[in-house]
Amino acid sequence: MKTFNKEELKELLLTQAPNALEEIFEEIHPVDILDALRDLEDDKYTILKKLPNWLVADIFEEMDEDEQQEALNIFSEIDQFKIINEMSSDEITDLLGNLEPDRVDRFLGNIDKEEAEEVKELLTYEEDTAGGIMATEFIAIKEEMTVIDTLGYLQATGLDAETVYYLYVLDSNEVLTGILSLRDLVTATFDTRISDIMTTSVKSIPVNMDQEEVANIFQKYGFQAMPVVDSLGEMLGVITFDDIIDIVREEDNEDIYRLGGLSEGEAVDGPVIDSVKSRLPWLLVNLVTAIIAGATVGLFSSTIDKLVILATFNPIIAGMGGNAGTQSLTLIVRGIALGELSKENAKRVFLKEVIAGLINGVAIGVVVAILGLIWANKPIFGLVVGVAMILNMSLATIVGYLVPVTLKKLNVDPALASAVFVTTFTDVCGFFFFLGLATMFLKYLM
């Protein structure tokens, strides 16, 4: 099989006739074709219209949501129906989930009736649950079948399945009773019954489970695919590992954006107005917190007037507290997202954070105390700076733990507002500890 680099693919797309492209691209992964199309910019949609429907459908499945919508609109409605007919049920659901209800009805009325019913059912699930990401194309067999029966059934239906790595054994009520790997099937004799080689201990996913929890289960067990069941154990669909990779990337991006106070919809090369809408609300929130911190400093303005050196160390105390709080915050948000922080280990993790914050606070406090002593040439000033640093860094790690945990209990995404709260606490408390101590010992500092 010949391989092509991106430049060669771009040249083929620009110069070859549609029938020639169809034959060539049968052996090339759709994501490679999509990469080449993206580089062609203005020509990409003109070329996309020349490609066969099955290939366009494969390319669509590799696109992100906004790109799909833009590409879909270049085709006539008839061609749109043909393209969607070539896609898997979970991908159709993702695509239709972003369209207006009347347009969704038109699509469902013009695709295969059986698939339309499956898509309608998938659309009833929340998009960030197992039901929202599963595909309904899976291989279901009965335990009374033999290996030779199953192989014949696979030859007839396997091409339509989302995955053939695992075969799912269902009873007459569609309840999942066992699972069989393709390896176990092909290594057994033809007359062996499925009930003799299947595994009855099956790890399955509840249909309403959040997609983050689903991703954690896949990471824990390392399966290529997992079945999705309802409360009665009836098998509804299957989730494959490639779906999980997309979810992990999506969740990571969402957390990174939210920790930075951005909307996950903002693109690097997106319009200026999108960037403003994404950033301005959180900047206004940060302005409020900055005013609170500034007001705290204002309470001690008379002290700062008498001892100007305090202004030099003020941002150091607050900044180091913010850094310590962010470290703790990042660890805890990640632990919550991956399911590593639980009721069983919560107290132990909290105690660890307190001890770590205290040790780090003492270490940094000693260093800054020595620096303060040398700078002001007064041991008492070094003591004030050192104690303020210890207090703020210790508090910062506690707040870095408590804020995301509290937000999680309130059903608020811990990544959404944690950073703002932690920064506010460390700034306000850092200024209060340092300037408060300086005010108490002012007569010894003059």
Residue 194: give its domain's CATH number: 3.10.580.10
Domain extent at residue 53: 6-133
Q: How far apart are CA 130 and CA 79, in angstroms?
A: 30
Number of separate domains in the chain: 3
Q: What angle do CA 202, 204, 207 make, to 5 degrees?
A: 155
Structure tokens given for 323: 């850094």
What is the tens place of the pLDDT at every residue in 181-237? 888 998 999 999 999 999 998 899 999 998 888 988 888 888 888 999 999 999 999
Is 57 a domain residue?
yes
Which token pair is 217? 């289960």
**Which among 113, 133, 153 is the end of a domain?**
133
Domain ends where: 133, 148, 165? 133
Phi, psi (5° rounding) for residue 177?
-115, -15
- 122 and 157 together in one domain: no
Residue 254 inside a domain? The answer is no
In this predicted structure, what is the pLDDT of residue 166?
86
43 in any annotated domain = yes
pLDDT value of position 365: 92
What pLDDT score does 155 carry? 84
| CA separation for the pair 77, 442 (Å, rounded) | 78
CB of 409 closer than 8 Å to CB of 390: no
173 in any annotated domain? yes
Q: Which pLDDT belongs to residue 170?
A: 92
C-alpha 364/C-alpha 216 separation (Å) is 37
Which of 78, 111, 133 delimits the end of a domain? 133
Q: What is the DSSP letter of 146?
A: B
Tell whether 194 and 298 lie within a shared domain. Answer: no
| β-pair type (140-141, 205-206) | unpaired
pLDDT digits (tens, 9 = 90+) for 349-362: 999 999 999 999 99
Say if residue 33 is in the same domain as residue 124: yes
Q: Which domain CATH number covers 48?
A: 1.25.60.10
Q: Is 248 among the domain residues?
A: no
Residue 326 to residue 137: CA distance in whole angstroms: 44
198 in any annotated domain? yes
Taking the complete model, does pTM exceed 0.85, yes or no?
no
- Which pLDDT belongs to residue 177? 93
Contact 48, 74 (CB under 8 A): yes
Q: Exposed, middle or buried: residue 81 (CB in 10 Å: 0-12, 13-18, 19+)?
A: middle
What local confidence, expressed as pLDDT, does residue 417 receive?
Answer: 66
Strand, helix or coil for residue 167: strand
Same domain for 350 and 415? Answer: yes
Pick from 193, 188, 180: nearest CA to 225: 180
What span, in angstroms and rounded, lies between the C-alpha atoms of 100 and 343? 42
Q: What pLDDT, on the 0 to 100 scale, is given for residue 135?
A: 85
125 and 148 together in one domain: no
Task: Say how many C-beta atoms besides its own lie within 10 A of residue 315's C-beta.
Answer: 13
CATH of the domain at 351: 1.10.357.20
Bridge partners, 180 (sequence order): 167
> Residues 283, 393: one domain?
yes
Q: What is the pLDDT of residue 280?
A: 77
> Are residue 88 and residue 167 in the same domain, yes or no?
no
Closest CA relative to residue 340, chosen from 330, 327, 326 = 330
Are both 58 and 207 inside the same structural domain? no
Same domain, 289 and 431: yes
Do 121 and 153 have their domain in common?
no
At residue 159, the pLDDT reads 63
Task: Looking at the structure, tell me whether residues 334 and 426 fall in a common domain.
Answer: yes
pLDDT at 388 (0 to 100) = 93
368, 427 contact by CB (below 8 A): no
What is the mean pLDDT, run by run of 10 residues, along the chain of 446 residues? 74 78 78 85 80 87 82 87 83 81 83 80 86 87 92 78 80 91 90 92 92 86 89 91 80 67 61 74 78 85 82 88 88 81 87 92 93 88 92 92 87 74 86 89 78
Domain identity same for 316 and 369 = yes
**Has residue 401 been placed in a domain?**
yes
Specify if 252 maps to a domain. Answer: no
- Cα–Cα distance for residue pair 387/366, rounded to 1 Å: 9
What pLDDT does residue 268 have?
A: 63
- Distance in angstroms (rounded) separating the CA atoms of residues 61 and 359: 51
1 exposed, middle or buried (CB, 10 Å; 0-12, 13-18, 19+)? exposed
Can you read off the two tokens belonging to residue 92? 């159709």
Residues 240 and 137 sit within 8 Å (Cβ to Cβ): no
